[in-house]
Structure 1
Amino acid sequence: MKKLRFGLATQIFVGLILGVVVGVIWYGNPAVPTYLQPIGDLFLRLIKMIVIPIVVSSLIIGVAGAGSGKQVGKLGFKTILYFEIITTFAIILGLALANLFHPGTGVNIHEAQKTDISQYVETEKEQNNKSIADTFLHIVPTNFFQSLAEGDLLAIICFTVLFALGISAIGEKGKPVLAFFEGVSHAMFHVVNLVMKVAPFGVFALIGVTVSKFGISSLLSLGKLVGLVYVALAFFLIVVFGIVGKLAGVNIFKFLAYMKDEILLAFSTSSSETVLPRVMEKMEKIGCPKGIVSFVVPIGYTFNLDGSVLYQSIAAIFLAQVYHVDLSIWQQITLVLVLMVTSKGMAAVPGTSFVVLLATLGAFNIPAEGLAFIAGVDRIMDMARTVVNLTGNALASVVMSKWEGQYDPAKGAKVMSLAKTEQNTTISG
């Protein structure tokens, strides 16, 4: 007897559609968040529970097997250089499109839904009190276990890389420690598969809550901004990443099809953390060395937020146009530099996009109050920029593997083709 088998992507898509339907039908009903928010929060907590153990174990295995500290340092330099180049492209593209299409011209922002952003204002003030030296010092943890408890990824990566280099340096004595973390890594990836079984329910709940709170009507007042952000992110995803992929020997459309489960889940939850373990696993399957994947992907989650900086540059120009603040070409060049610095300095801060915008707007005399109106549709734009962030970090693994001469394009294409064939099979015995 043959039966239909629905893959994870199909299940998540069904959950997404049902969530939208529930949100539209019960728009404004406080019962929806009351009953559905705990389900969505439970799923996000399950994901956050496993992210750190996977990052630590994978990074230790990868770095300890990569060789000397010199090799790791070389990889780190190349990775940061690539991130800076691609991030700069994203910021410049955002500014160019905002200047070309003028999304803020003629917009009556007072008709838009206003949202409380006081929490971001306080965070921005705290961050502004920190110097550049403080930001770099924060990368080195004074207490590793405290960093684990707080989920401070940069501090965790710093200690883990040093610890892994120590394991590599002591040779045979370090093998039992390495074997332990290999076991942890395998066990945690099994846990990931278990957690993914409830992903469709989490997506249903999170989308249902979002739509019931803001409704479809919230898009109308700021439709030009939302539309331009989506077009810009789609252009960056297909064209810019398409060129980068071609240079690395990857067809971007096949790559996106290969990553469709993770892309749909990230889009639905507005969180790239939900798919970090699966992204790392998939990059290894297409031929990227574990050492490179476990190093590049976690660092990318704090340093390579292409979708976020693209959105921030558009939003900054949008608000300048709304409030009739005329920015010269030199001011916009300065804006590029400011965004490059602030987006890295606040990488681990909750609500990064808003905090970065607050810090940036103040430097150009653009009223920050406008963010209270953008916040009403921020979740809708966040869904799209999360997809670009995710794809950028996954593709970075391929780029760095190619740069290091350790990527086989033929193997990658074969695995992606096989994965596509398996995903298209909906009948099982």
Structure 2
Amino acid sequence: MAKRLTYFILIALVAGIVVGYGLHQAFDAKDPALATIADLLKLLPDVFLRLIKMIIAPLIMATIVTGIAGMGDSTALGRIGGKALIWFVSSSLVSLLLGMVLVNLFQPGAGLALSPATGLGDLATSQLTFRHFIIEIFPTSALDAMAQNNVLQLLVFSVFAGVGLSAIGEKGRIIVDFADAVVTLMLQITGYVMSVSPLAVFGAMAAIVGVKGLGILATYGVLVTEFYGGLVLLCLLTLGAGALFLGKRAFTLFRYIREPVLISFSTASSEASLPKMFEQLDRFGVPRRVSGFVLPLGYAFNLTGSMMYASFASIFIAQAYGIHLPISTQLLMLLTLMVSSKGIAGVPRASLVVIAATLNQFHLPVEGIALLLAVDTFLDMGRSATSVLGNAVATAIVTKTEGMLQPLLDPEAEHAPTPHDTAEHGLHGLNIDPNQ
């Protein structure tokens, strides 16, 4: 079934481009009929993403609560969280530095004639301060965090709830059992939602190509090509790190996560693949109590694709305006991006928000954002997929270093364990070979 869905997504991707091109050829760019058709096509991905977001909050909360409550060892929780954060910070720095090196090497903005500046709409750059980052970590209401799908705040509340349930023992068993049932329910709903993902991919591609045409790729071909070349290099580094820690099983991981990565690429949303990623990591042998903690943490702190894009795009805009930035200034910009990019879950066009805030802080022309708006969707597809890949590899590596990586779970094999069975094991006393 997974292979068939992957093929259907690829077919939908190509079909969407073909249909979009046909619409672009059949209608004048200013024809209201084209805008109407494109708006109807966008209903497919818009509905799909709403359904995905409907799943995320209860899934994250339930997985973290059940995972931490079943650990029974706060030192293990701290150790896993510490390893994850060290990995996330390191990978973020690598991504930022790679973006800086590549944009200085290729100079994609050199000699570029800028379009007239456009308004930045709802880019809330004034909110991206260190104080805002700290305040936004802590929720004023768990219900509000759920309503906004604020991953960072959900993570904080769920950790407190999980630790509290672990402390009160049997009195909280009914809540833990309920959370475990919620996980099973959300995964069942995920299966229903994912079955219509090819329609969402088709609608998204047909709409954007229909309005902008294939020429949008040619217009900014240099920027898109060089950025995607950087993403390929970043993916290779990520895959190399995975192979270094996971050995031969790394190839199995890459095969299992191809569908979530493709979904993120097609929908330009890392959130869209989160429920499916939980399922695939279950199959790979990552206990749900680990993936349920590390994966949401990665979505808040480890958006490697967006990191590279932020440094690449910020310096690209400076080049486009002919502004020379010394290396010392560029390194300071990287540190700013490192801090300002954290805790922006739920901010519309998050990467553009971070870039605009950084440009403003270093007195660079913020109107240069207009250069990126035309191709931001295409660039977002690549950076979303890269971030999802990085989070999956990081989760598997943390699990491996804890000696918790279980045998592969094949749902089609006779007497195979289920994800629920896998989640029942604790951090310690697992009857497995740590070297597997």
TM > 0.5 fold call: yes
C-alpha deviation, 1:292, in angstroms: 1.2
Matched, 1:19 2:3: no
* 2:77 corresponds to 1:72: yes
| 8 Å contact from structure 2 (residues 9, 201) kept in 1 | yes
Q: Aligned AA for 1:124?
A: T
CA–CA distance in 1 between the matches of 2:3 and 2:148?
37
- Structure 1 spans left out of the alignment, 5+ residues: 419-429
Per the alignment, residue 423 of structure 1 pairs with none
Deviations 1:180-237 (A, max 9, x none): 1111111111111111111111111111112122221122232111111100001111
Pick aligned residue for 2:385 from 384, 387, 392? 387
Task: Tell me the secondary structure at the aligned position of residue 405 of structure 1.
Answer: coil
Q: 1:48 to 1:179 in 2, by over 3 A?
A: same
1:367 equivalent in alignment to 2:365: yes
The 3 A distance-change label for structure 1 pair 345 and 263 is closer
In 2: Cα distance, 1:256 partner to 1:228 partner: 24
On the 8 A contact 2:114/2:320 being kept in 1, the answer is yes
Offset of residue 335 of structure 1: 1.5
Instruction: Tell me how far 1:22 sits from its aligned partner.
Output: 1.4
**Kindly tell me: are residues 139 and 343 of structure 1, through their superposed partners in 2, closer, same or farther at Cα, counting changes over 3 Å?**
same
Contact 1:245 1:395 in 2 (8 A): no
2:404 corresponds in structure 1 to: 406
Q: CA distance change for structure 1 residues 115 and 251 in 2, over 3 Å: closer, same or farther?
A: farther
Whole-angstrom distance in 2 between the partners of 1:116 and 1:21: 32
Question: 1:54 matched to which residue of 2?
Answer: 59
One-letter amino acid of the structure 2 residue matched with residue 119 of structure 1:
D
State the one-letter code of the partner of 2:5.
L
In 1, are the aligned partners of 2:217 and 2:224 still within 8 Å (CA)?
A: yes
Structure 2 CA distance for aligned equivalents of residues 154 and 393 of structure 1: 15
CA deviations over 1:272-313 (Å, ceiling 9, x no partner): 111101101211221212221000111111110000010111
Q: Tell me, yes or no, if the aligned pair for 1:16 and 1:204 is still in contact at 8 Å.
A: yes
Partners of 2:249 and 2:107 in 1: CA distance: 33
Deviation at 1:6, TM superposition (A): 7.0
Corresponding residue number in structure 2 for 1:215:
213
- Secondary structure of 1:326's aligned partner: coil
Per the TM alignment, residue 240 of structure 1 is displaced from its structure 2 partner at its CA by 3.6
Flag the 1:5–1:72 CA change in 2: closer, same or farther, 3 A.
Answer: closer
Q: Which has the higher helix share?
A: 1
Q: Deviations over 1:298-354 (max 9, x none)?
A: 111111000001011111121111111111111111112111111114344221100
Contact 1:288–1:398 (8 Å) recurs in 2? yes
Query: Within 1, Cα distance between the matches of 2:183 and 2:104?
Result: 47
SS at match of 2:341: helix
Cα deviation for residue 133 of structure 1 reads: 3.5
Aligned partners of 1:181, 1:73: CA distance in 2, in Å? 22
1:273-288 alignment runs, 5 A limit: 273-288=271-286
1:352–1:83: structure 2 CA closer, same or farther, 3 Å change rule? same
SS of match in other structure, 2:374:
helix
- Is the 2:136–2:343 contact (alpha carbons within 8 Å) kept by the matching residues of 1? no
Name which of 119, 127, 147 aligns with 2:122: 119
Matched, 1:272 2:275: no
Farther-moved stretch of structure 1 (13-22 vs 80-89): 13-22
Conserved? CA contact 2:119–2:367, under 8 Å = no
- 1:427 equivalent in structure 2: none
CA separation in 2, counterparts of 1:341 and 1:280?
Answer: 27
Partner of 1:425: none
Query: Residue 73 of structure 1: CA displacement?
Result: 2.4
- Match of residue 302 from structure 1: 300
Tell me which amino acid in the other structure corresponds to 2:58. P
Once the 2 structures are TM-superposed, how far is the Cα of residue 138 of structure 1 from its aligned partner? 2.3
1:27-426 aligned within 5 A: 27=24, 28=29, 29-110=34-115, 116-120=119-123, 123-125=124-126, 127-128=127-128, 130=129, 132-249=130-247, 253-407=251-405, 411-412=407-408
What is the alpha-carbon distance in structure 1 between the residues aligned to residue 38 and residue 288 of structure 2? 40
Task: Using structure 1 for the length normalisation, give the TM-score.
Answer: 0.89
- SS of alignment partner, residue 103 of structure 2: helix
Post-superposition shift, 1:390? 0.5
Structure-2 change in CA distance of 1:352 and 1:400 (3 Å): same
Quote the Cα distance in structure 1 between the aligned partners of 2:213 and 2:3.
29
Displacement after TM superposition at 1:5 (Å): 11
Q: Secondary structure at the match of 1:76?
A: helix
Quote the Cα distance in structure 1 between the aligned partners of 2:323 and 2:267.
Answer: 35
Say whether the 8 Å CA contact 2:146–2:154 is kept in structure 1: yes
CA distance in 2, matches of 1:296, 1:340: 19
TM-aligned CA deviation for residue 176 of structure 1: 1.6
SS at match of 1:283: helix
SS of match in other structure, 2:286? coil
Deviation digits for residues 18-61 of structure 1, max 9, x if unmatched? 11111111123213223212222111111111111111111111
Distance 2:208 2:4 in 1: 25
| Count of matched residue positions in the alignment of Structure 1 and Structure 2 | 405
Deviation at 1:102, TM superposition (A): 0.9
The amino acid that maps onto 1:53 is: P
Give deviations 1:98-145, integer Å, cap 9, x for gaps: 11111111222339xx7652211xx112x14x5x24422322212111
The alignment yields a C-alpha RMSD, in angstroms, of 2.2
Q: 1:254: Cα distance to partner?
A: 4.1
* TM-score in terms of structure 2 length: 0.88
Offset, 1:88: 0.2
Distance 1:394 1:142 in 2: 30
Partners of 1:60 and 1:163 within 8 A in 2: yes
